[in-house]
A and B are shown apart, each in its own frame.
Chain A
Amino acid sequence: MPPPAPPLLRQSHDAEMAGPFPPDLHDVRHLRLKAWLLLVWAVVSFGAAYFARDLRFVMAGGWPFGYWVAAQGAVLVFIAIVVVYAWAMNHFERQDARLAAEEAAAAAALADAAACAAAAAQSSGLDGVGSLGHDALLTAARKVRRDV
């Protein structure tokens, strides 16, 4: 499977003095997730290390607690943070993809319904849908189709 061509890079090489490229807008949910995880990260590394002298009580297995956190506990928490982050981001992305797919499907269904209604109105020659309204319906259906 060939990797997708990196368009940004190509562009920047073609135009030697490429203009600045602003970063993506960050999703608020992503930022909130990052903030929480970074807080845990800071507490377990800097917080625990700052108070290590006060956490000297001996835990199961013979370790002084402060020593164990710095030597092993913090590393385990770091792994957990990275794993939770990767999992949650994948979850968000799947959710977004599903929402987008649902929206697209709904729009397509709407377009189909509109087109059907327009066609039916025309073929039956009913005056229920005026010629103006019927044209508008057709245009709207085409527009929705194109957007989808």
Chain B
Amino acid sequence: MSERGPTTVQDEERAYLWRLHRILALYVVGVLAFLALMTWAERQGLSRHWIGPIFLFLTVMVYAGIGVYGRTSDPEDYYVAGRRIPPVYNGMASAADWMSAASFISLSGALYLQGFAGTPGQAGGLAYLLGWTGGFCLVAMLIAPHLRAMGLYTVPDFFHVRFGGRWPRIIAALAAVLCSFTYVVAQIYGVGLIASRLTGVQFEIGIMLGLGGVLLCSFLGGMRAITWTQVAQYVVLLLAFLIPVSWLAYKQLGNPLAPLVYGTQISKIADLEAQLLDSAAEHQVMLTYLQRARDLEERLKDVDLALEREREKGRERIRALRAANAEVGLIVSASRELSSLPRDAAAARERWTREMRENYERARPLGGLPQHSQAYAGDPNGSPQEQSDYELSRRNFLALMFCLMVGTAGLPHLLTRYYTSPTVSGARASVGWSLFFIALLYLSAPALAVLVKFEVMQNLVGSSFEALPTWMAQWARVDSSLLSVEDVNGDGIVQFGEIRLGADLIMLATPELGGMPYVVSGLVAAGGLAAALSTADGLLLTISNALVRDLYFHDPQRRASPEQRVILTKFTLLAVALSAAFVAALKPSEILPMVSASFSLAASAFVPAMVLGIFWRGTTRQGAVAGMLGGLAIAVYYMLSHVPVLQFLPRWLMADGLWFGIQPISAGVFGVPFGLVLTLLVSWITRPAPAMPVIRSEM
């Protein structure tokens, strides 16, 4: 290659780029043609039972095909895709890598449910949107180009090269595994949700199906295969998001460019909200929920007695039904109700406490949803309670935004992506392209939330329970926490307070809500799947690399050929994927809280030591170790202190209530400054003797 002139190399690069552009264009045309074909088939009477599985199967097969085609055992290809991914495609792949099930499935739902900033008890809404985009400014300026300039393979490599010794690398690798694993569990949960809805199989089987797709892509090919799979997945997920949004915008406003025109719907929603706040029927619903909550509170005063009384009541009812020769269906449902009562007092206490909280929540105006466009709950000029609500709501919004932004700059699976670009300048351009491709979807997400809310308030509220569409029952069957509609006040008409939508449902149900053809539902599900799979791919690769490359093979006794290392990495990946699927099958939590937690962890563990390591030459090995451990420890401690499952531990072990009213999800707010101060302090204490280190000024 040395005898070729620079122009030949440039020509070759350009030809390579054009070939990629051509392939991408063909692929997009292919996806659109497939959509047209499916629409035609649906018109011709293709059953819905087939459309979902066809979408699921075909897209996964395409990704797997790309994965097989791009397979490799060459270490340079396996870890960093040969460092020859052009910035545009690197940006696209990073965008797919970045936009997980949380962005695609839950973000619009969170914006629908939480409006601007969420409730005082649960911050959210636009904090997610700002956090997940604003973090890229930090990545672009503080981290990515500097890491790329060092020519490394993984994030723990940075800690190894910068600080030397064993511990910085080991801690970084373990922290990478911790936050990536939390994240990947959320993705696999999303995969299971989609697969079970689309194919009608059980949630657990859905998880296994999706896992097969993940493994097909990442198991064979490593970074190179994953990058091209992610580009393919980005196209699917972007189309899957933009088509329903544009459809709704065209239906409501006559213009498909949703992000430019949805403003008018905001003021209409404000008017509808005002109407709902005055409506008598809504007040009736609120009172019923309040009554239920009070009943539950009463029961909780003496759980054993109440449980016995409930059982007796159930038996009494079955006896009465039998005596009256009632329908079999009624008797069966009554005995099912009886058997679904909690088994013992502890279970009863847990369940009733939860139900009481939910009922109190729904007994609030608008079903507990904040007014859509109002920034923060409460009122800065109102009663003391309202003032404190306002303060807490705003503080938690800013805290969550901070954690998500800083976490973005610390998530190893994202940072690894910028190792794949050919040059340092390419790494900077890649970050720009990533943010552009992410914004294409993120600018539409608040529009979707507003349009769906208008659709619900305008069309669903006030319709009769008899005429409820069938999709609602289907979703309620997957998981009752996703959707429940109940005629609480018995007037046969749907009130806003009677509808309860889960954050993870809204995007997936949008096509059905807007009356679109079922093909769009299939596409949206395929998009959600693409989002979850692409992120899971990147995360699994990061975890297995950290375990094998950064922990196992750094032991000097273990020598192996590069191929053997890659093979071992692949098997670790398999093991990690299976254990993540196992955890996800337990349904530990909703998608968003899990993802936010992993951001807080990444922010606390990596960012202080990494930024100081890049920008301050005085950072020492001991300082970095102390900062990483301290930041991570504080964040984990604060989060675990508020996990309900761990409340059996002695009280003195736990954090004392909420610190400054900050919710546990935003534990990074404490972890990052603590890590920063600790790194500075310990570095200063352990600073080397006056002899300055050798200065290297070349990049």
Contacts and interface: CB of A to CB of B under 8 A. Distances in A.
B435 interface: yes
A23 B693 CA distance: 11
B215 to A, nearest CB: 28
Interface stretch (A41-49, A103-111, A118-126, A129-137): A41-49
B149 A24 contact: yes
A3 B427 CA distance: 14
B394 interface: yes
Interface residues of A, number: 55
A41 B432 contact: no
Given A1-B13, A3-B83, A18-B164, A34 B142 contact: yes
Given A8-B161, A23-B615, A62-B264, A67 B151 contact: no
A147 to B, nearest CB: 16
B137 A38 contact: yes
- For the residues of B in contact with A, the DSSP-based class is helix
A18 B160 contact: yes
A67 B373 contact: yes
Interface string A1-33: 111101111001000111111111110000000
B267 interface: yes
B234 interface: no
Interface string A64-90: 101110111011101101110110011
A126 to B, nearest CB: 44
Contacts of B314: none
Given A8-B150, A9-B151, A16-B556, A79 B116 contact: no
Given A3-B84, A71-B446, A83 B164 contact: no
A66 to B, nearest CB: 5
B116 A70 contact: yes
B146 A86 contact: no
A61 B264 contact: yes
Contact of A9 (B84, B153, B264, B265): B153
B376 A52 contact: yes
Contacts of B117: 52
A67 B116 contact: yes
B501 interface: no
Determine the main DSSP class of A at the interface with B.
Answer: helix
A67 B266 contact: yes
Contact of B697 (A9, A24, A58): A24
Contacts of A76: 439
B435 A78 contact: yes
Interface in B660-699: 693-699
Contact of B401 (A18, A49, A67, A78): A49
A57 interface: no
Contacts of A52: 116-117, 375-376
B577 to A, nearest CB: 27
A2 B697 contact: no
B595 interface: no
A37 interface: yes
A62 B127 CA distance: 21
A78 B134 contact: yes
B616 to A, nearest CB: 8
Nearest to B82: A3
Interface in B566-594: none
A71 B127 CA distance: 9
Given A8-B150, A9-B152, A67-B266, A75 B432 contact: no
Interface in B109-153: 116-117, 126-127, 129-130, 133-134, 136-137, 140-142, 145-146, 149-153
B264 to A, nearest CB: 4
Interface residues of B, number: 83
A127 to B, nearest CB: 46
Nearest to A41: B137
A19 B168 CA distance: 12
Interface in B544-558: 554, 556
A143 interface: no
Nearest to B553: A13
Interface in B329-373: 373
B212 interface: no
A102 interface: no
A8 B152 contact: yes
Interface string B160-175: 1111111000000000
Interface string B594-626: 000000000000000000011111001100000
A71 B107 CA distance: 12
Nearest to B405: A45
* The 7 residue pairs across chains A and B that have the minimum distance between CB atoms: A6-B151, A62-B263, A52-B375, A61-B263, A86-B428, A3-B83, A71-B446
Interface of A: 1-4, 6-9, 12, 16-26, 34, 37-38, 41, 45-46, 49-50, 52-53, 56, 58, 61-64, 66-68, 70-72, 74-76, 78-79, 81-83, 85-86, 89-90, 93
Interface of B: 1, 9, 12-13, 76, 82-84, 116-117, 126-127, 129-130, 133-134, 136-137, 140-142, 145-146, 149-153, 157, 160-166, 259-261, 263-267, 373, 375-376, 380, 390, 394, 397-398, 401-402, 405, 422, 425, 428-429, 431-432, 435-436, 439, 442-443, 446, 554, 556, 613-617, 620-621, 693-699
7 contacts: A18-B161, A21-B161, A24-B697, A49-B401, A61-B261, A78-B134, A86-B429
